[in-house]
Amino acid sequence: MIISMKRHATREEIDGVIQRITEFGYKIHAIEGEERVVIGAIGVGDTSNCLESLTALDCVEKAVPISAPYKFVSREFKKTDSVVKVAPDIEIGYDQFVVMAGPCSVESEKQIMESAELARRGGARVLRGGAFKPRTSPYDFQGLAEEGLKLLAKARAETGLAIVTEVMSDAEVPLVAEYADIMQVGARNMQNFALLKALGKCGRPVLLKRGLSSTIKELLMSAEYIVAHGNKDVMLCERGIRTFETATRNTCDIVSIALLREMTHLPVVLDPSHATGKRSLVPPLARAAVAIGADALILEIHPNPAKAMSDGAQSLDPQQWMAMMEDLQPYIALWKQARLASQPVAV
Amino acid sequence: MIISMKRHATREEIDGVIQRITEFGYKIHAIEGEERVVIGAIGVGDTSNCLESLTALDCVEKAVPISAPYKFVSREFKKTDSVVKVAPDIEIGYDQFVVMAGPCSVESEKQIMESAELARRGGARVLRGGAFKPRTSPYDFQGLAEEGLKLLAKARAETGLAIVTEVMSDAEVPLVAEYADIMQVGARNMQNFALLKALGKCGRPVLLKRGLSSTIKELLMSAEYIVAHGNKDVMLCERGIRTFETATRNTCDIVSIALLREMTHLPVVLDPSHATGKRSLVPPLARAAVAIGADALILEIHPNPAKAMSDGAQSLDPQQWMAMMEDLQPYIALWKQARLASQPVAV
Amino acid sequence: MIISMKRHATREEIDGVIQRITEFGYKIHAIEGEERVVIGAIGVGDTSNCLESLTALDCVEKAVPISAPYKFVSREFKKTDSVVKVAPDIEIGYDQFVVMAGPCSVESEKQIMESAELARRGGARVLRGGAFKPRTSPYDFQGLAEEGLKLLAKARAETGLAIVTEVMSDAEVPLVAEYADIMQVGARNMQNFALLKALGKCGRPVLLKRGLSSTIKELLMSAEYIVAHGNKDVMLCERGIRTFETATRNTCDIVSIALLREMTHLPVVLDPSHATGKRSLVPPLARAAVAIGADALILEIHPNPAKAMSDGAQSLDPQQWMAMMEDLQPYIALWKQARLASQPVAV
Amino acid sequence: MIISMKRHATREEIDGVIQRITEFGYKIHAIEGEERVVIGAIGVGDTSNCLESLTALDCVEKAVPISAPYKFVSREFKKTDSVVKVAPDIEIGYDQFVVMAGPCSVESEKQIMESAELARRGGARVLRGGAFKPRTSPYDFQGLAEEGLKLLAKARAETGLAIVTEVMSDAEVPLVAEYADIMQVGARNMQNFALLKALGKCGRPVLLKRGLSSTIKELLMSAEYIVAHGNKDVMLCERGIRTFETATRNTCDIVSIALLREMTHLPVVLDPSHATGKRSLVPPLARAAVAIGADALILEIHPNPAKAMSDGAQSLDPQQWMAMMEDLQPYIALWKQARLASQPVAV
């Protein structure tokens, strides 16, 4: 930490600050300038509380941390990319570019079976579909719950696709973990800390979506919660953030993909459906995601989007889906070439 | 709903849209202009799904709702202000301007007893204090849990203050409801729908904080969840939103207070501590909150902010707290006068 | 400045950084920790360029300034409040709470004369009205230009009100300065540096509106431009910022008023019309602005808002305007009492 | 326009609204529902003023436009892509993927000549470099002004590159137009309407950068200003918007590229340097920009970034620049293939 004292802080105040920092377990290096005193605190201690305690003092101008507040998920902690095995033959994070596709919600057996077959045919390896749906209105369709999970399992049995589905409460973690290959945390729950702790012990890989207004650092902190509670198989997902722009459903912070690959060893996924909210924008954004170096895509397709019970406007119809996957192939080939070149050691 | 067709929509497409809207239970009025067709859909139906279904069609330019998607919490549904009784002699929403004060976290018996006594002395009627703490980092202090709830109950017994404290998971609702007079939903959980549903049946008033990037409409929708699940005693709390400005911890959307009072009959509370993050800004903002017509304040005080385990920088020390409450009195007197004048019927 | 080196910076890199900082004229204090080296640079130099130059180096983790980048406008530079004399008997910044009111645009002689008379009757001291209008669309009404300025001057002659009006280009500064008592810089031009420089030499007080997405620090930097180019009579105006919330036209950052009063000695004004965009919200926000300590208000009124050529939805009609001014009186009385108590020395 | 009346609007109020709309030149279609009346207004009229006038009425719930407020720049107005010729052999908008590169500021003859040579060697066709610099602080380097323009012209003479440089004031448009091949409007001036009008008559192509907090629609409206004042050669530039995220200098709204290509026929450019603020992120974002279908890139390079007078942290050094351009080639090849396939008619 660096603590900058106010311009006219007294010697007594400065000594008081130094003493407090020492109590928190840091070593001190003070710089006495002409205008003000700056104190460097170096070592390992309870940074958050120490910073808060110092900021509360009137004699302190500002107090800032130097090191990142997360550990296990940082690139400094582990230099090589992490690879998450989500099924015996599906690994995300090295040289397989994985596409997860499916409807927003599981609506019926017919719909999910058709969707799964469509996903498989286009080249997806994982089927997405919501059984528990976070809906802004209490009057909207809330999902089929366990019945939906059973239908997903049936689709997996028939197509060989792995399953990713959302879990909304720590109380439902065990139930969802019985059926899902990947546990999805929705954007609205990214800082549901009770849920994150429960996922630390769920025994399944987790796909953690970035909150609508969460910073990249907060996303990493939420991933750290899961890892710190026992589960290292975490994938991060950019799905657009909330800004002043309303021409798209959200604003896709695509640069976060490249930045996260510098900051963390965890795989990074992009969701072009929620990031845009408009199906015509999904294929160009998917291309850009491959080009910038995402590890996987998760997106919405539907056998008949106009009849979808949710997110119809952003779901690809069968023809668009097949065309997009074909269009992506040369980009995926370039992606794979870059991965094989840059990554000498698989982990 | 108003559905505006694309400029060159065919007769067949227009008829298809009309049929679909009719299936959702609406009556149709089409306007055939020179440039395009606009369709009005009037009546009661499943608006969200209908809108999503229409937006998914390529021939539709845009589809917008006219009525608000919430019902029970709207001012149209209930014209008179709702009054929430939080203790035998404490009512929020009519002519009592209620102040809730206390530390961010319950840290120890000594600390919470001193805080409660301090709160009471300044004129607060409700004691705030967190037993379950949502913290961005898994390595930060997470609260004393049930031990903290017991200490709050003890403080209530000694001072006569009511208790407001946060609940973070649907699984913990019964436990917190045993101790709390008001169940607080934190900003990060405003759209934790599992929690909102559980609070619908908790039998206690709820203080619902606005999410960091939640719109006013979403705040009302979350309140609607609680009411629709059985609990009409909901209070809304503005605590600052996340914007590009970093000079304050959050940006206080103070106008939301006045706007909410037009849109809903529920009481509206302001939290000047989280809205600013800096103690010197708390008293001026508290004055503004009274002037604009908030029903209550919730804020952080601490017997010794520099030693607080969280939020020290925004907690008032004893002297600032007493001075602020004295300074507020003439504003509260004007507030009360306005309330008594404008509100002929107590509910 | 504080420069934190990357963890594995070499001795050679560290020495290179130290040498560069020294070349920029700073004294150096290096802290050699176990994990990394932190360098403190103290003294006076070309901070912006030095910071940019250092951040460009791969061996530097981050480089942050300690002092504020503005000088003349800071509270540190001048402790006492500045008072801006806008007319022989009108001073903003001490114990006169000044209200500026009028239509968005000058539309016709009849309209501006009626507006001026209405403003005067309600107790305004300054008449606002746009002759040059910044409009998002090239097809919207662009203002009456010099003809509008002449009408404003005529209204001043008849009512005794001072005049505030917008200037949109450095080329038009001399013309507008011939007529206006206060030169207004609109939000979209807050960082039109050519305009700011020209205003430094215009010989009139300036009302500088905060940009839609400008930080408080940037607002102060723009004020610094005007002062540094020769004009110390600058007033700052909060008029709402752009956020994700669309229920109001902008989001009023009311706390900026209190914060600016800590950071600068310049007077601070609030515009409740643009901050809300909805006339029913103007009177409650005006009350809050007085309570939080603004020096003045600028707002829109119109003899017949439904016929206004711009901003009709946020203009008060005559009855609302008179009622609001009456309602504000007890708040202004409290404001004045506080000013007289806190400010022993008029400047 | 669609005008939705308040629920209890009287017959008299409804008739008043209808009359007013008719006066503005529209045809009326009223829908009388059970809950409320909705009025459709169809035809051509002064939409902005009509909407404002209606919104000002208490009996109106909301009034929304249907058609876009811009005309000449819309894809509806002109279906085929526009191609802007910026030099005899350089056309932006069809099958040439153009890269514009150079330093942030022109600093000296040596620096700009080295930069130009470097740009040319990497394959850029246009040299960027600022002679007039918009700087947040009045104490920062403000550019070499005309001297800088002369150095740019000299670099053009020696390398054959075209020149793009910023103009900051309508008064300086003639001077800059003497030297520049492309006139750049910076983000802070996107709504400097006096400047936009002057550029309508400057006789040079314009590169219009999106404002920090400008919507896509506002960007198109500003382009409409230039076109409506006589200059159809406008290129739009996404350079990142301001959001709550501070990990990057701005948040790149990359989807705006794909969306703008749907909404307008004008070429769209991306600036990965300002969009990220960090040089390591520039090459991955440049790849994504090509993949999503941008027409050109504008970015910062510097012979020695650590000595740059501005923007050093985001400028590529010579080695990074050459590596990036090589890395982009297969993506540009795919881009070109798609352009030739999709665009049967060159314009």
Q: List, for residues C242-282, the tens digit of each pLDDT value.
A: 999 999 999 999 999 999 999 999 999 999 999 999 999 99
Nearest to C73 by CA among A38, D138, B250: D138
Tell me the mean pLDDT in the region D106-119.
96
Q: Cβ of C213 and B244 within 8 Å? A: yes
Tokens of D28: 């009326």
Q: Cβ of A66 and C38 within 8 Å? A: yes
Q: Cβ of D292 and A293 within 8 Å? A: no
The residue among A75, A220, A238, A255 with the most chain D CBs within 10 A of its CB, best to mutate, is A255
Least confident of B144-153, B166-175, C337-346: C337-346
Q: To the nearest whole angstrom, how far is the Cα of A243 from the nearest Cα of chain B?
A: 9
Name the residue of chain B whose CA is nearest to D61's CA.
Answer: B66
Per-residue pLDDT tens, chain A, 347 aa: give them.
778 888 788 888 888 888 888 888 787 777 666 667 878 777 666 777 788 788 878 888 878 776 677 889 999 889 999 999 999 999 999 999 999 999 999 999 999 999 999 999 999 999 999 999 888 888 888 889 999 999 999 999 999 999 999 999 999 999 999 999 999 999 999 999 999 999 999 999 999 999 999 999 999 999 999 999 999 999 999 999 999 999 999 999 999 999 999 999 999 999 999 999 999 999 999 999 999 999 999 999 999 887 777 777 899 999 999 999 999 999 999 999 999 998 654 44
**Which of chain B's residues have a Cβ under 8 Å away from the Cβ of A53?**
306-308, 312
Name the residue of chain A whose CA is nearest to B188's CA.
Answer: A191
pLDDT of res. C308: 74
Highest mean pLDDT out of A55-69, B9-23, D208-222: D208-222
**Which of chain A's residues have a Cβ under 8 Å away from the Cβ of D243?**
241, 243, 251, 253
Alpha-carbon gap, residue A119 to D65, rounded angstroms = 39
Q: Cβ of B53 and A306 within 8 Å? A: yes
Q: To the nearest whole angstrom, how far is the Cα of B272 from the nearest Cα of chain C?
A: 10
* Inter-chain Cβ pairs, chain A and chain B, closer than 8 A: 137
Alpha-carbon gap, residue D179 to A66, rounded angstroms = 46
Q: To the nearest whole angstrom, how far is the Cα of B297 from the nearest Cα of chain C?
A: 15
Q: Cβ of A194 and B172 within 8 Å? A: yes
Query: Using the 8-state DSSP alphabet, how is residue A74 labeled?
Result: B
Task: Report whether pLDDT(D134) > 90.
Answer: no
What subunits touch chain B, counting only 3 or more CB pairs under 8 A?
A: A, C, D
Alpha-carbon gap, residue B149 to B133, rounded angstroms = 12
**Which of chain B's residues have a Cβ under 8 Å away from the Cβ of A309?**
49, 52
Name the residue of chain B whose CA is nearest to D250's CA.
Answer: B244
In sign, the C-alpha dihedral spanning D90, D93, D99, D104 is: positive
Domains, chain C, ordered by start: 2-64 (3.30.70.1140), 84-342 (3.20.20.70)
Q: To the nearest whole angstrom, how far is the Cα of A340 from the nearest Cα of chain B?
A: 35
pTM of the model: 0.89
Alpha-carbon gap, residue B321 to B127, rounded angstroms = 14
Interacting residues of B341 by C-beta distance below 8 A, sequence separation 6+: none
Amino acid in position D282: V
Shortest CB distance from B313 goes to which of A46, A56, A134?
Answer: A56
Which pLDDT band, with edges at 50, 70 and 90, does C187 fall under? Answer: very high
**Which of chain A's residues have a Cβ under 8 Å away from the Cβ of C7?**
76
Q: To the nearest whole angstrom, how far is the Cα of A106 from the nearest Cα of chain C?
A: 31
**Which of chain B's residues have a Cβ under 8 Å away from the Cβ of A211?**
213
Q: What is the ipTM of this complex?
A: 0.89
Task: Report whether pLDDT(D194) > 50.
Answer: yes
Interacting residues of A133 by C-beta distance below 8 A, sequence separation 6+: A104, A105, A140, A141, A142, A143, A166, A310
Task: Report whether pLDDT(B276) > 60.
Answer: yes
Q: Between the CA atoms of C103, C105, C108 and C109, what dihedral angle is there, to the nearest 10 degrees?
A: 50
Contact A298, A164 (CB under 8 A): yes
Which residues of chain A have a Cβ shorter than 8 Å from any chain D Cβ? Answer: 213, 215-217, 241, 243-248, 251-259, 262, 275-276, 278, 280-281, 284-285, 287-293, 330-331, 334
Name the residue of chain A whose CA is nearest to D277's CA.
Answer: A255
User: Are β-strands B37-42 and B27-32 bridged in parallel, bridged antiparallel, or unpaired?
Assistant: antiparallel
Q: To the nearest whole angstrom, how far is the Cα of D239 from the nearest Cα of chain A?
A: 12
Name the residue of chain D whose CA is nearest to A278's CA.
Answer: D259
pLDDT of res. D225: 94
Contact C241, C212 (CB under 8 A): yes
Reduced to 3 DSSP states, what percent helix, strand and coil does chain C have, rounded to the nearest 5? 40, 20, 40
Q: Cβ of B308 and A169 within 8 Å? A: no
Shortest CB distance from D306 goes to which of C56, C134, C140?
Answer: C56
Shortest CB distance from D258 goes to which of A213, A217, A285?
Answer: A285
Name the residue of chain A whose CA is nearest to B193's CA.
Answer: A134
Q: Cβ of B56 and A308 within 8 Å? A: yes
The residue among D20, D193, D309 with the most chain C CBs within 10 A of its CB, best to mutate, is D193
Q: Cβ of B76 and D33 within 8 Å? A: no
For residue A255, the surrounding DSSP H or E stretch is helix A255-263
**Which of chain D's residues have a Cβ under 8 Å away from the Cβ of A291?**
284, 287-288, 290-291, 331
Q: To the nearest whole angstrom, how far is the Cα of A112 from the nearest Cα of chain D?
A: 29
pLDDT of res. A139: 83
Average pLDDT value over all residues in chain C: 91
pLDDT of res. A312: 76
The Cα-based distances of D170 to A161, B148, D141 in angstroms read: 61, 65, 21
Q: Cβ of D251 and A244 within 8 Å? A: no
